[in-house]
Structure 1
Amino acid sequence: MSPEEKPPPPQAGRCRGARPPQPQPQAQPRRGGLLSEIRTAIRSEPFHLRYRLSPGRELGRGKFAVVKKCIQKDTEKEFAAKFMRKRRKGQDCRMEIIHEIAVLELAQCNLWVINLHEVYETATEMILVLEYAAGGEIFDQCVAEREEAFKEKDVKRLMKQILEGVSFLHRNNVVHLDLKPQNILLTSKSPLGDIKIVDFGLSRIMKSSEELREIMGTPEYVAPEILSYDPISTATDMWSIGVLAYVMLTGISPFLGDDKQETFLNISQMNVSYSGEDFDLISESAVDFIKTLLVKKPEERATAEESLQHPWLEQSDEPISRAWNESAGGESSNVTQQDADSASEKSVDVEKTEEEESIVTEELIVVASYTLGQCRQSEKEKATEQKAISKRFKFEEPLLQEIPGEFIY
């Protein structure tokens, strides 16, 4: 069974205390690239009747939402509950949450997108009960010390999954617009699991008959066309994937400055480096992959499908998913042996350099954490660039306000 053929969960029907599902089976876009129709029944009974929150730290937090681990009482199954405020900055944002639900429904057949289980609504918030990804954010491995950080072979496998998920979204006219390490989760931390794309709060539906221009995204991951207020397209996501690949391979955020203005200037002027100690163990093919995405003109960037055919990813001898050979249950266990065989047939045997050989023999230790840390650096950098290093990965919150003109070049 391929990632796009994951059997959809049973449709939520009428249930006690639940609002009936919307009558229209196919959600249609409304103005601003938002979807307004959903199939999922919205439950109005108290959330705590069926779920209990797990003690401990939150899984994630933003300005208007918090994610907590919860347990379904009758099954003891783990889920992630996303509590989202309906009123934000004095405005009713319920329809934006409905749009996020609709996108999750649209992607429910894709293995690389987080699965939506149930939806609850109270007077002040909506609660999305989502698949639980036990491995946490890939951000934690991006900022880990070199010994514990991603190896290039790990990045290859995870990047294939990210691209397959994004390719599915793009074929369905969905742009994510906030792809970053905090929004890519792992199904397990050790052994290193598979990815799940989350947080579709900024996503939009692209229509060929309309142009979409918005200032949104997370500063260090936004594409040049966002800053110049040019039309958004699927290529906008591909820029973010280029930044993401750079970060996963090196632990460095390529455009991040001391403040937003410097970050935007770096993006607009394409101030990016592909040399130095951080690239000592990175293959030339990996660097070329990044360069096909960090291209200023959107029409010249590689698409998700083209990126999947890049030689760097074609060289991988890893199966596309670990899920097929894991004994534990869960959503990812639906991937069959046939997928693994198919992925192996597509792999190309290549000679590894001495550096790559040394990477392969190292043990990967994944540390689960939801707090920010310094990105990894050399001893020399620790001594000479402490101030600059401490500012890396500073921006977490999406950019929702208009950018002053002096930032645009």
Structure 2
Amino acid sequence: MPDSVMMNRSGMVSKIHTRIRTDTFKSSYDLVGKELGRGKFAVVKKCVEKSTGKEYAAKFLRKRRKGQDCRVDIINEIAVLESAEANPFVVSLHEVYETTSEIILVLECAAGGEIFNQCVADNDEAFTEKDVIRLARQILTGVAGLHRNNVVHLDLKPQNILLTSSRPLGDIRIVDFGLSRCVDSVEEVREILGTPEYVAPEVLNYEPISTATDMWSIGVLIYVMLTGASPFLGEEKQETFLNISQVNVDYSQDVFDGVSSLAVDFIKSLLLKNPRKRATAEECLKHPWLNGHSSPLPHLRNPLRSSLDEPETSPSESEPESPAPSPDLLIVASYKTCSGQSEMKSVRAAFAFDEPFSGRPEIKQELIC
């Protein structure tokens, strides 16, 4: 982001350029069909602009959450979307409306839904390695653009990567910037932010967040896309956090059956505990796995036998409901667009997919003990 952008100590941007309309949303848009997704503090609905007939996804965000004014969080999300306006793989912001209780983001509608659906699909519906390579290049190109603007997403996962179409397989759009932060070399940003399965070790240790934090999540994301398994998922959150802090990853042939060794090498370049040793998005785009393959690219993995818990937000924005949070854990609703009703398979055990969390430093011991 430009140096002139106003940013607080938590890496949240407080200045936007988008005009916030206060006239009635329904005077310009018709809501159509059923909800695309619902979370604790947001609901996403498909809408049609009356003047053009174009379809969009309207994200209705409550300004007060748990008795607190969270308008600043929504402004930060708008600012991040503004900064990514030229990024072809980030969902585009069309308009913003505000009422006494809500802010409404009118966003590009990615009709293909989340890539999560293919991640947990059986063989006929699952991604091929060739599919994953193409989508990984797009994800990395999009993330590289964010990182050049000093923006870290902090919640990269299959539920936050949408497709412009599912059949034929379209292009990706990165969504849900509710947890995003702006980082620079002047102020350190330290927060407990993210989704448990995808969160990096430095977040759990309350160490500074950086662009490398996203790269860890991308390593987990690609692992899931290739195998249908969640590498760090345990039976309880504490086991998940322990697996992450110890970088306890299964790279065995059983998990990566039919997947190329270059793909495994790519993931290993990201799932490193030391953030400074992880490959950057730009470096990843130069990796041999994404630039040619010496052997045929088979269809991936054996059929998965898993189920998804009740969604809570998603496509264009929905996410499965998580187990009851710890009293010290502040749950943050994300903006996504639609999740299936099954459960991500773990290499170790099945466990309900968790929603993003945001916490304070004092919860660190609970997270990693």
Alignment TM-score, normalising by the size of structure 2: 0.85
- Native 8 Å contact 1:144 1:375 kept in 2: no
Q: CA deviation at 1:187?
A: 0.5
How far residue 25 of structure 1 moved from its aligned partner, in angstroms, is 11
SS in 1 for 2:16: coil
* Amino acid in structure 2 at the alignment position of 1:83: F
| Larger helix share, 1 or 2 | 1
CA distance in 1, matches of 2:211, 2:253: 31
Answering whether residue 11 of structure 2 is matched by residue 30 of structure 1, we say no
The residue that corresponds to 1:370 in the other structure is 339
SS of match in other structure, 2:255:
helix
For residues 296-335 of structure 1, what are the structure 2 equivalents within 5 Å? 296-315=273-292
Matched to 1:408, the amino acid is I
Give the structure 2 partner of residue 187 of structure 1: 164
Q: Distance in 1 between matches of 2:195 and 2:185?
A: 25
- Residue 68 of structure 2 corresponds to 91
Q: Which amino acid aligns with 2:25?
A: F
* Counterparts of residues 14-29 of structure 1 (less than 5 Å): 27-29=5-7
Return closer, same or farther for 1:102/1:406 CA change in 2, 3 Å cut-off: closer
Which residue number corresponds to residue 131 of structure 1? 108
Change (3 A) 1:181 1:72: same
In structure 2, give the amino acid aligned to 1:275. S
Flag the 1:212–1:70 CA change in 2: closer, same or farther, 3 A: same
**One-letter code aligned to 2:53:** E
1:408 is displaced (CA, Å) by: 2.6
Higher share in strand? 2
**Larger radius of gyration between Structure 1 and Structure 2:** 1
Query: Does 1:206 pair with 2:183?
Result: yes
Deviation at 1:53, TM superposition (A): 1.1
Contact (CA 8 Å) 2:198, 2:220: kept in 1 or not? yes
| 2:39 paired with 1:62 | yes
Query: Unpaired segments of 5 or more residues in structure 2?
Result: 301-314, 316-337
Gaps of 5+ in 1: 1-23, 316-349, 360-367
Q: Residue deviations 1:203-228, cap 9 Å, x none?
A: 11112111111001000000000111
Does residue 400 (structure 1) correspond to residue 358 (structure 2)? The answer is: yes
After TM superposition, the structure 1 = structure 2 runs for residues 3-402 of structure 1, keeping only pairs within 5 Å, are 27-56=5-34, 58-315=35-292, 350-353=293-296, 356=297, 370-375=339-344, 388-389=349-350, 391=351, 394-402=352-360
**CA distances 1:132-182 after superposition (whole Å, capped 9, x unpaired):** 100001111111112211110000000001001110111111011010111
Give yes or no for contact 2:9–2:187 (8 Å, CA) kept in 1.
no
> Residue 76 and residue 284 in structure 1: after superposition, are their counterparts in 2 closer, same or farther (change >3 A)?
same
Structure 1 residue 90: Cα displacement:
1.1
What percent of counterpart residues are identical?
Answer: 64
Distance 1:48 1:252 in 2: 42
Q: How many residues align?
A: 330
CA distance in 2, matches of 1:228, 1:357: 39
The one of the two structures with greater contact order (alpha-carbon pairs below 8 A, sep at least 6) is 2
Instruction: Quote how far apart the aligned CAs of 1:406 are.
Output: 4.7
Over 3 Å counting, the alpha-carbon distance change for 1:142 and 1:26 in structure 2 is same
Distance in 1, matches of 2:216 and 2:190, equals 16
